[in-house]
Every structure is written in structure tokens, then in C-alpha cells.
Amino acid sequence: MVSGSNDSQTPPLVSLAAGGVAGGIEAITSYPLEFAKTRVQLRSQKGIPTPRNPFRVVTQVYQKEGVRALYKGCAALVVGSIGKDGVRFLFFDQIKHAFSDKETGTLSPGRNLLAGMTAGVVASITAVTPTERIKTALIDDARNERRFRSGLHATRVIWQEHGILGLYRGFAGTTLKQASATAFRMGTYNILKDYETQRDIQQNTLTNFANGSVAGVVTTLATQPFDVIKTRSQSARGTSTVDAVKSILIDYGIRGFWKGTTMRLGRTVFSGGILFTSYEAAVKVIEPLYSGVEHTVIAEAD
């Protein structure tokens, strides 16, 4: 993923570790915007309209509930992001290496998207769906019932009431969102990077951030309906994907499937730049350490 056209493949453990580091950094720095977007997408209380401006949502929550409320569910998202981005960078790098052109080291746009889609499905199954379920349930619960004391408590309650299926509520919407989002985000980023590499455009922090931001815009506009369906499915009480779709149509009509687009767009532009920049930086730090340990192990074996 991070290698240029003539570079060797990034080792799997390096991809996994660097992706996890990047995911954790991205989740923590952009969480208030994620919180605001989730609040807007959840069903509004009667007589209490939700502002469209994410900064107004953040300000209102801060004034009424304090700064800690803005990070409700953050721990679940951080854990999920570490697992999600570790897994999807790992799988994307392996898939890209398997299908790339052996001479140039690049993928066609179609294969870039397919590689990202496959990585997204794996990430949804292994990490994203249960952690997103806990995060969304915590944010929704904080508005009304306040049953959940923490992420672990929410996990126990949901498990006791609904079993493991309760933690995978919204799986269909999450997987559709994750597969398409990863396809567009990773695919767009790598299409841009391959284009620049072929034209000897230097890869640095600025180009990494710009490519990641463009990938974030494309991802948001293409996958927003799946994100809204996922959020509705994963409310505190939970609902099926079909019921989530019905409730969106009843509340807002077809336009409701793009609810929170502005907020998510702001976050994904910001977080996309952070994610890929952090990943590239983490690889530069981790890969030499990994190589040193690997060479030491081989030397001792000999």
C-alpha cells in the first residue's frame, strides 16, 4: 500500500501495526465530529429538532452535559478503529500485492476498488460491527435512559438481553457501508498515489494528507445512505435493517438517507488526511524496527 512502484511489499505485521496506530490516532482526533454526526442521524425527540451545524451540536452538548459527553462511546470507537484499520490495511496490502502489475507494482482502478471492498468486509466482521454497535448505543442511551455506565457495561447488558446477535445488530448496513467505504477510500487513495508515482511526484506529508482528504470526500458522498441505515439499526434498543430503512423514509423521505452528510464530510476530509498520513509515518518508524528484529532472529537461528 505504502510502497512505490519499485519498492518491496510492506510486511504483513508492519501493515497491521501501522494501520492500528493510524486508526487509533484518527479516531481520537476526529471523535467530536463523529459524535455530532451520530446524534443527528439518530431519531429526533419530538419537539426537539436537531441542528444541522455540527459545531452547534457539539456546543449544545458541551453546555448541557460537559466535555466528557462529547467523548461518549469514544473508547469503543478507538478500539474498533485500531482493529478495523489494522485489518483493512493488512488485507488491502496483501490483496494489492497479489493482483498488482509485476513490473509497475500498480493496480487498475477496478482492482483497487475490489481490493478495498474485500478488506472492508473482513474488517466489518472482525472489528467494526460490534464496536460501532456499542459506540452508537452509548451515544443514543446518553440522550434518554442512561442505562449504560460504560462501554463494557453496555456490552454486558446487550449480550445479556440479545446475545451475540445484539452486538451484531446492523451488520448488513455496517458491512455494506464498510465494504463500499473501504473500496472508495483505499481505492481512491491508491489510484491517486499510483498516478503520482508514475509521474515522479514526490510523496510527502502534504501529498499524503491531500490524497487522504480527497479519498474522504469521495467516500462520504458515495456511502452516506449506508452510514445512516447503520446508525439507525444500532440505536440503544436496536432495530433491523429493514425497520431502519422504513423509519428513515417515514421521518425524512428519500433525503433522509443523506442525513449528516455535512458533518461526516467534515470528519472524513479531516480524518482521511490524518489516517493515511499517520499510516505512512508509522510504517517508516515500524518497518526498520521490524526488519532489525527479523534479522536478529534469523542470525540467532543460524
Quick one: what percent of the chain has pLDDT higher than 90?
13
Structure confidence at residue 8 as a pLDDT band (50, 70, 90): low
Is 244 a domain residue?
yes
- Asked if the structure places residue 56 within a domain, the reply is yes
Domain membership of residue 7 (yes or no) is no
pLDDT of residue 3: 42
pLDDT of residue 17: 92
Is 4 within a domain?
Answer: no
pLDDT of 44 reads: 66
Mean pLDDT of 137-165: 87
Provide the whole-model pTM. Answer: 0.62
Domain with residue 245: its CATH number is 1.50.40.10
User: Taking CA 225 as the corner, what is the angle to CA 180 and CA 243, rounded to the nearest 5 degrees?
Assistant: 115
Per the domain annotation, does 2 fall within a domain? no
Asked if residue 243 belongs to a domain, the reply is yes
Output the nine-digit C-alpha cell for 189: 487513495
SS3 169: coil
- Domain residues for 84? 12-301
Confidence bin at 157 (pLDDT 50/70/90): very high
Mean pLDDT of the chain: 82
Report if residue 96 sits inside a domain: yes
* Contact indicator for 166, 239 with CB cutoff of 8 Å: no
Number of domains in the chain: 1
Per the domain annotation, does 238 fall within a domain? yes
Q: In the structure, what pLDDT confidence band is assigned to residue 285 with cuts at 50, 70 and 90? A: very high
Residue 292 CB neighbour total at 10 angstroms: 10
pLDDT-based confidence at 6, cuts 50/70/90? Answer: very low
